[in-house]
């Protein structure tokens, strides 16, 4: 059966089974441990013996997590897989298999779904994940992707719950890039197609075109830190970890709550993304606020009692980028605070939460952040 051009077909003419066949056509049929893949009632997989199975799921919802006005469907396909891969990374594991549930409005152009799956396939190849099953449904509402990722755990499990008082808080990479991109998109600025955007919108001054492109890459094509977290786990260096998806403040709060501890973050140490810094000047926004509460950077936040040199050596060559010690674990009673260069401390709060219109930007300003 030949694959017809997207412009020549509609969802109604394809039907559910025709669309399934179309989207599954380009997927690999064989792979490591794959006994039965797409096309049966369930996938059958063979995992390495003796290691725990890791499993996670995430929803990506049009209108909540992305908008077609600004996002290239291929970027959304990539991101839908990346966010769950990041959860597996945060447990110190390696992603292996994914199931994709897709709810599609009947009027969706087939070309959009082709692009979405192109992005999914590219991400699957990049993260060494096999797409082994899924479900397809019509919906009267926004397009929705529900991705479940299965992975293999390391010999040790890296949870949120192991942080101890006196340990150091570290983070991989730099923060705030994704939120900076979102701020530019929300103000109507154009995102180039090669950066995951649609190429529509207000023109961008040449001076910030480069930073915006780099920030958009963080927002639309996140690269979860699988290797760094696996290296930490293999060496038993990290006591607790979480990926930065809701924002540093919110995710550190999750880690502290699970561990029954508090923490203090040094404002001067927070590694602000250079692109976010450049875009902050342009958009007159505080890039530190993006870094602390913006979320979706998909870096790994972890705690350790190991000395800095040991941590840096363990992460060398794993693609973790710069890794930074940003604070210290304190007793629970100390709460969660940000220490400013002048020694003053303010509560560290904010971050994304569904049902509350509060994506980022809630840095507590009882003391001005200078």
Structure tokens given for 36: 């039965």
Give Rg (Cα) of the chain.
Answer: 21
* Interface region with a copy of itself, contact rule CB under 8 A, candidates 46-54, 170-178, 280-288, 342-350: 46-54
Residues in 215-254 at the binding interface with a copy of itself, rule: CB under 8 A: 241-243
Cβ contacts of residue 27 below 8 Å, gap of 6+? 37, 38, 121, 131
- Interactions with a copy of itself, residue window 258-287 (CB under 8 A): 258
Q: What gap in Å lies between CA 368 and CA 340, rounded to an integer?
A: 10
Q: Residue from 74, 76, 91, 226 that binds a copy of itself (CB under 8 A)? A: 91
Pick out residues in 348-367 that bind a copy of itself (CB under 8 A): 353-356
The answer to whether 101 contacts a copy of itself (rule: CB under 8 A) is yes
Query: Is residue 46 a contact residue for a copy of itself (CB under 8 A)?
Result: yes
Q: Which is nearer to a copy of itself, 52 or 266 (CB)?
A: 52
Please say whether the beta carbons of 327 and 116 come within 8 A: no
Secondary structure of residue 99 in the 3-state scheme: strand
Using CB under 8 A as the binding rule, the residues of this chain from 107 to 146 that contact a copy of itself are 132-142, 144, 146
Smallest distance, a copy of itself to C-beta of residue 64, A: 5
Query: Which residue in the block uniquely carries the two structure tokens 């929705």?
Result: 144
45 binds a copy of itself per the rule CB under 8 A: yes
Interface with a copy of itself by CB under 8 A: which range of 152-160, 166-174, 196-204, 315-323? Answer: 152-160
Tell which one of 1, 8, 42, 309 touches a copy of itself (CB under 8 A): 42
Helices (H), 273-325: 274-283, 287-293, 308-315
Q: Does 103 bind a copy of itself (CB under 8 A)?
A: yes
Contacts of 326 (CB under 8 A, 6+ apart): 169, 170, 171, 265, 266, 269, 270, 271
**Which of 19, 23, 76, 277 touches a copy of itself by CB under 8 A?**
19
């Amino acid at each position: 059966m030949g694959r017809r051009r997207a412009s020549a077909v509609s969802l109604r003419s394809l039907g559910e089974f025709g669309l399934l066949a179309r989207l599954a056509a380009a997927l690999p049929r064989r792979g490591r441990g794959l006994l039965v893949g797409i096309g049966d009632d369930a996938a059958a997989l063979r995992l390495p013996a003796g290691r725990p199975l890791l499993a996670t799921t995430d929803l990506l919802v049009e209108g909540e997590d992305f908008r077609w006005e600004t996002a290239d469907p291929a970027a959304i396909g990539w991101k839908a897989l990346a966010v769950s891969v990041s959860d597996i990374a945060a447990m110190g594991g390696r992603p292996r298999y994914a199931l994709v549930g897709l709810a599609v409005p009947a009027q969706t152009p087939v070309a959009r779904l082709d692009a979405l799956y192109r992005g999914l396939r590219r991400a699957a190849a990049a993260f060494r994940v096999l797409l082994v099953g899924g479900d397809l449904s019509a919906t009267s509402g926004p397009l929705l992707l529900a991705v479940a990722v299965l992975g293999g755990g390391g010999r040790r499990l890296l949870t949120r719950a192991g942080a101890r008082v006196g340990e150091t808080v570290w983070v991989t990479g730099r923060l705030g890039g994704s939120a900076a991109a979102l701020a530019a998109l929300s103000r109507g600025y154009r995102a180039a197609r090669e950066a995951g955007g649609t190429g529509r919108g207000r023109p961008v001054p040449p001076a910030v075109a480069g930073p915006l492109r780099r920030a958009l890459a963080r927002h639309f094509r996140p690269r979860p830190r699988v290797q760094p977290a696996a290296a930490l786990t293999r060496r038993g260096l990290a006591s607790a970890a979480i990926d930065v998806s809701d924002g540093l403040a919110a995710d550190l709060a999750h880690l502290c709550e699970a561990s029954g501890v508090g923490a203090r973050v040094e404002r001067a140490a927070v590694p602000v993304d250079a692109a976010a810094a450049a875009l902050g000047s342009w958009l007159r926004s505080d890039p530190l606020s993006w870094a602390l509460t913006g979320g979706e950077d998909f870096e790994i936040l972890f705690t350790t009692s190991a000395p800095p040199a040991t941590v840096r050596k363990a992460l060398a060559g794993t693609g973790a980028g710069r890794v930074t010690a940003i604070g210290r674990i304190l007793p629970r009673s100390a709460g969660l605070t940000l220490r400013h260069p002048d020694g003053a401390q303010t509560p560290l709060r904010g971050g994304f939460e569904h049902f509350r219109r509060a994506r980022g930007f809630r840095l507590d300003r009882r003391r001005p952040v200078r």
